[in-house]
Structure formats: structure tokens, C-alpha cells
Amino acid sequence: MKFSIPLLMLPALALAQPTADYFPGETFDAAKPTPESVLGFGIGDWHLRFDQQQAYLAKLAQQSDRIKPISIGRTTEQREQVLLAISSPQNLKDLDAIRQAHLQVRDGKRDPKLPAIVWLGYSVHGDEPSGANAAPLVAYWLAASQDQKVKAILDNTIVLIDPALNPDGMDRYANFANNQQGRHNSDSLSHRSRWQDFPAGRLSHYGFDLNRDWLLLTHPASQNRIRFWQQWMPQVFGDFHEMGPHGTFFFQPGVASRVNPLTPKENQAITKELAKDVAKGLDQQGRLYYTGESFDDFYWGKASSYGDAMGAIGILYEQARARGQRVATPFGDMTFTFTIENQLTASRQLLAGVLRNKERLADYQAAFFKDARKAAASDKIKGLVLKNPGDQARLDDLARVLTSHGIAVNQLGKDLELDGQKLKAGRDLYLSLDQPQYRLIKSVFGTATDFEDNTFYDVSAWNLGYAYNIQALAVGSWDNGASLAGQPWAPAKKVPPKVTPAYAWAFDWADSRAPALLADLLRADVKVFSLGSASDNGQVRLKAGDMLIPAGAQQPQGLLATLAELSARHGIALKAMDSGLSQSGADLGSPGLQRVKAPKLGLLVGRDIHAQRAGGAWQSLDTQAGVEVTLLEDSVLPWLDLGEFTHLLVPASAPLALNGAQGARLKRWVEQGGRLILMTDAVAWGVQQGLLNAELADDQARLAQFPTDQLSYADRDSHRAQTLIAGTQVLADLDSSHPLNFGLGSKRLPLMRDHEVMLAEVKGPFSVLARYDAKPLLAGFMAQPNRDALAGTPAAIAQHLGRGSVVAFLDDVSFRGIQRGSERWLSNALYFDF
């Protein structure tokens, strides 16, 4: 195999070569369609749209007995996710039997006669297109090649090709890039093809990064993919990405000191061995590459490292990007075709390496799960009890995520008392650590705060108990943990609640489904009121913040049918009450009763706004809270009529859009009765614009606690890492009497902190609804000076300004769609006065 295209590319039309030129000197079955015979153009001429890619692969599969397409579901935008199983005709005939036999690996068993199972996943970031454009070439090579080495791969391997890990983002970017393409294409980094709008093709729908969603499973595309993963348990996962244009080609192993400590050392040894084959292929072509100097393997929620958590070898490949047809680099002009060639080479060479290491890979995966059971047996912790937080839906949602990853979840089998808390059989859940996914349980409920290397490519903590605000209580060996497992968990069956005539009906605001029910009730013109304090009329005990539907305030026609239909849709019982007179607490007609009105919400998005913060808020409000969200483009903010909105949410700072003039305009809008909601570093902007009566913490004083006078130049990266707060779980203490904390269900709230903005002082009484705990760090890395600086400072504040108000959350309360505890703050900021 020899490629002759040099690194310095000719700056001509930069059009791609025909398929044969990607495989010089190789022989293919002429009956199998080439990409250009179906598409009408060669790979690399244009950026493939998802439908074009799928059309070619479907045609290829129709004409090849080496390919079996497998549909695994649909994305948010309803694009079908189809993987290709590619192998010898006999293996494909026995495919399900091979799969079933291989799944015994979870019990530490392996069958030496089985083929290796490799998953190649391309372009989880849709604007990193070389992978998704190389995938058809990889499929063609496997389906049509007459080379005996390829036939050996097919006889000994099941290759699962996921040609576009992010179909929605791939389409978005392909359309964008093709719209900027001409006959003579610029190589300038200033060219518009490098500057996308919201949401960029990197992201999926709602502006989510699917490469961070493998553990969290917020999106349908991820849920479908992990369900398929658990059905196959591949031994190797190739994860094909792009990086900045000034690099070359990276492949793992990455930085040795930044590997998750739960990953066995043999994983990295095999990764290094497989790297030899890729290096060999790139060497033959004279291509530049590197390993070991960047990218970590720490966060198990990324594509390549998720494989590490599953006993596979996950390998990241990062090609310098062209972002268009060509781009100027320090090494000369780099074309789109060049980037595709490197991804093709890496794919082919990875499969060669798998064939060479087939036995070692099978041994490793079996030992991974066998050793996990041994580690569980010696662990002083035998299991975890997940305490029901008074919100069955939230507990079920967490259990659903855990079981999706192959973790066995059971009902708690007997009552017990643990850490002073009474736990109840059938209500709470139990995770035994004695199971194949022992390591994953340790990971997703990890509380580590000390690390060998304090530099992280992504978050340093991802405890799902903290994210869902659900306590995970450890059971020691003295608790006889093995006897605590009851029946396997299953989501509660939906029984339509009955709605009968009454004086009034109420529902629990602590239920995570309550905001969506409220939104639908308001859309149906049902008048709903919130309780300002607790009430007990002898029939129903209500808490502050619970919602009341007085029958006398409604239009009676069709009311019961509407209530019954919406109650059943959301699975929430409407508690019937015959009287408004309370035996204790406030009567139902109390002056503390407040009418709840449907918000008219605008969410600021755009090129100048952090897309994932905006997307997380949008997804949470849309899919969890059921709220209609108007997306406001930041670049046209000066021309928008803000008067139509009751609420505006600014999820992150926007230095260009939110200048002084717009700050003054928003201040007038608030003073006239609007509610402005600020998150993360937008809070700093709010203080600077006089929208908040508060002072920012002195960041220079914080940084002064990290002296540099004794450091060398080589220490600069580690020093910077010390100063950052980059994906750490922290604890806030709540003022549970504050209306914006109604329904949160506890006096303490875990948050995800990923920036350094802090408040020093808040002026005005009763403004602070949460403060960071005196010992704020729950999990992840945070240097001691940062802990000291954060301790006791405000985490959330709410203040009046004229006839309106400003609510400020210092953290991303809907971080990656997984902060199921703190996301309630968004709904409260829409519905409650204070």
C-alpha cells in the first residue's frame, strides 16, 4: 500500500480524486459501486450530506454479501442511524450467534474461535468532516477489495461502521461548508467557512456535544448508540475526529499521566501496540503525526474513553482540519482530500493491528470483567443505596441511565438504617458492586479530589448521584450488602390517576414532571396558583410551592376531562380537596396564594454566546419543563422588540452583543417589569452593567495565591491548570424558605462549576438564595486557594430592579442536560415571584 500525495498540496481547484486514486495499485470487484458512480462526484469534491452518505452506503450494501445494515434508531431531527456490520459472508450468516456467544465476556469468558469485534465511529463532531467522508471509502475497501489481507480481516473480524456519529450536525455543517465553496477556494483562516452560526455543526440538536454524552445519555442518538454497544460489547473502538488546522495527525496513546486510574495498564499497552500499525501506514506515505503529547483518557463519558470503561480499547484519532476545501498551515496548503486520506489510512491500519493482536484483545476484555469481580470482592464497600428523594420520576431516570450501561439496579430488599437515615425496601434502590460493571459504578459515583495529574481535557468529576441530587449511601461488608438486593428495578407502570369533582386539586411541585404538567395546564387556560406556605386540611398535606387548581376559579365546561387527560399524560396525581379550610398552616385562599402565569421566554443564542450553555438551557426548558422558548439571535438584539417577552435568559456572557448600550436597554426593560435570568459568566456582565447590586470577587487576589516566582517555563501549563476550575462538582447550601428554592427537596444542592467567576458581596437584604458550602468541593479537582475563595460566597441571588427583577445563577444549572437537581431553578425563575 503506497500513497504518493505529498503534504504540500497544490493550491489549484482542490478537487478530490476518483476512488481508484485513494487505493493506488489495488484490485477491486468491478461489480461493486464506487462512491462517484452513485453520488455523481468524487469523495472530497464536496462535503457529503448525511443523506448522500447513506444513499451510497445503502447501494453498496445492496450489492455486497459482506455488508449487513443495522438500524439502531433515529436522532432528535429524525435522521435514521444505520450501522454497517461488515465481515465475511459466513460470519454475517452467523452474526447473531457470534454476538450472543461474545456477550459471555461479561462473565469473564472468551471463545477463541470467535472473530474480533471492532467499531469504527466517525465525526461525532459534525464539523470535523474528514471522518464521515472517509467512512464510505472504508466501507468500499472492505466490501470490494480482492486483497487477501482484506479477506483475512473479514474472516477474523466483525467490523461495525458507524459512518456518522452525529447525523444532525454533519448535515448542518455540510450545507454550510458547501454554501461557501467555489471553483477557486481560499486557504485563509478568515474565510467564512471557518466561522459558523449557532448551533455549529460540531454540535447536535439543542447545541449539545455528543462526544460528552456517552455516559449521560441526554440525547436519543446517544441512547440508541449505547443500547447497541451493550448488545455487542466491541473489543476495539476507533474514534475519528479533527483538531485545529495547525496540527498534524494525533492518535493515542495520549498523555500517560492523564489516564483514568480505573483503566487497567494493559489497556494502554495494547493502545501503544495498535499505534504501531497506524504509524507504519503514515510513515509509508510520509505523513507527519504524533502520539503521547496531548489529549487525555480520563473522563469516561467521551467516545474513545467510554470504550475503556467497557473493557474495550478506545482509540482517539485527531486529524488537523481543513474546514472547507483547503487551508494554509505551517506545512503548506492542506486540502480536504488530504484529511480524508489520513482517516482512511488510520482506519485500515487499525484493522490490520486488530488482526495482528486478535488473541490479546480477547484475553484483555475477558480479564477486564473477571478482574472487576475480584476487585469488588475485596472492596470494603459492597453496594450503594440510592435514596428516593421524594421524586420517583427523577430516581427512575437515574436508574434508566445506569441500566442502559449494563449496570444491574435492584429495589432495596429490606428496610435498614444507614448513616442515620431510614431506608425503605421497595422505595429506595440498591446497586451491588459485585457485578461486571463494578468499575463503571465506582466511576459514576466517584468522589475523588486528589489526582496524579491536575490537567484535564474535560471535566474531572461526573458523579451522577450529585447530578441528579440523589444520595448514594455506601453499604459496608458489615452491613451484609449481598442480601440487600430485591427485585430488579423496572420503571413504574403508568396508571392513569383518577380525577374526581372537588373544591380544588393540588399537585406536588417537587415532582420533576410537575413543571411540564404546569406548562400544559396553562396552555389549556387552566388557572393555577402556587402556595406561599405549607397547608394541611386533613385530607392533603401541601408544601410551600405546591400548585393549586381551585375549581371555582375555572370555566367548568370540560374541566374534569382536561385535568384527567393532562394528569395521565404526565403521570402526576391531582390530589382532590373538599374544603379550603386548613387544620394547620395556611388556608387555601391565603394572601400567600399567587397566580401562576405562562411565561413568554426569550433565550439569547448566537455566535457570541457559549453554544452548549445556551443549548443545555433550551433542551432542559423544552424537553423537561415543557416551556415554549423563543431563540433570540444575539447579533440582531438591538432590533428586537423586547416588550413581547416577560422573561429573558442570558446563559453566558456575550461581549460583542451585550455591550454598554444593550446593557442599558435591558436594564430599562427590567425596570419596566421584565425578569432577566443570568447564568455563569453573564453574572459578571450583570454586575458590571448595574443590573445586580453586588460586587465581583477580586480575581487578581485569587490568582495571587498561585505564585510563579519559583516556577520554570516548563511549569506554565501545570500552573495554569492549578488556577482553573474546570468541571468540578461543588455543594451549595440553600435558603429553603426562598420561593426560588421551592420544590428542590433538600437544603443542600450539588452544582457543576466550570469557570472562576465569583461574587464577593451582595447588597440588599434577602437576596441570596444559595451560598457555596464552607467546604464546597464534592468531587473533582479544585486547588485549595480556589476552594478557599469559593467557600461561603453566593451561588444564586435574586433582586428587584424597578418593577422587574434579576435572577443570577453562578453555575450552569442545566449543564449538559444532566443537572436534574439544579435545573429546577430555571422553572422556578419562570413561575415564582419573591
With bands split at pLDDT 50, 70 and 90, how would you rate the model's confidence at 5?
Answer: very low
CA distance 660 to 667: 10
Q: What is the pLDDT of residue 438?
A: 98
- Closest CA relative to residue 311, chosen from 107, 516, 62: 107
CA distance 819 to 807: 18
Q: What is the pLDDT of residue 2?
A: 33
| Segment 329-366, tens digit of pLDDT | 888 888 999 999 999 999 999 999 999 999 999 999 99
Q: What is the pLDDT of residue 162?
A: 99
Q: Is 717 exposed, middle or buried (0-12, 13-18, 19+ CB in 10 A)?
A: exposed
Contact 42, 36 (CB under 8 A): yes
Q: What is the pLDDT of residue 178?
A: 83
- Please state the separation of Cα 657 from the chain's center in Å: 27
Q: What is the pLDDT of residue 1?
A: 34
Provide the H-helix boundaries in 310-431. 336-356, 358-378, 392-404
- Averaged pLDDT score across all residues of the chain: 93
What pTM was estimated for this model as a whole? 0.94
Retrieve residue 469's grid coordinates.
441530587
| Segment 551-567, tens digit of pLDDT | 999 998 999 999 999 99
- Closest CA relative to residue 820, chosen from 624, 630, 563: 624
With bands split at pLDDT 50, 70 and 90, how would you rate the model's confidence at 482?
Answer: low
Summarize the confidence of residues 824-829 as an average pLDDT.
Answer: 98
Summarize the confidence of residues 727-746 as an average pLDDT.
Answer: 96
Confidence check: pLDDT of 325 > 50: yes
Confidence check: pLDDT of 631 > 60: yes
Q: What is the pLDDT of residue 480?
A: 58
Cβ neighbours of residue 179 closer than 8 Å, sequence gap 6 or more:
none
| Segment 811-825, tens digit of pLDDT | 999 999 999 999 999
Region of residue 560 (left: phi > 0; alpha: psi -120 to 50; beta: else): alpha
Cβ neighbours of residue 109 closer than 8 Å, sequence gap 6 or more:
366
| Segment 24-46, tens digit of pLDDT | 999 999 999 999 999 999 999 99
Summarize the confidence of residues 231-249 as an average pLDDT.
Answer: 95
Percentage of residues of the chain with pLDDT beyond 90 = 84
CA distance 760 to 758: 7
| Segment 648-707, tens digit of pLDDT | 999 998 877 788 788 899 999 999 999 999 999 999 999 999 999 999 999 999 999 999
Summarize the confidence of residues 80-104 as an average pLDDT.
Answer: 98
Beta-bridge partners for 753: 728
CA distance 314 to 237: 5
Confidence check: pLDDT of 750 > 50: yes
Q: What is the pLDDT of residue 453?
A: 80
- Topology of domain 19-372, CATH: Aminopeptidase (3.40.630)
Beta-bridge partners for 779: 729
Give the count of alpha carbons within 13 A of 388, CB side only. 17
**Residue 785 parent element (H or E):** helix 784-790
CA distance 761 to 771: 11
CA distance 556 to 691: 43
Q: What is the pLDDT of residue 477?
A: 72
Confidence check: pLDDT of 13 > 70: no
Q: What is the pLDDT of residue 337?
A: 94
Q: Starting at the edge strand that comes first in sequence, how are the strands of the sheet with 541-542 ordered?
A: 541-542, 535-536, 584-585
CA distance 249 to 460: 26
Q: What is the pLDDT of residue 288?
A: 95
Which CATH code fits 601-831?
A: 3.40.50.880
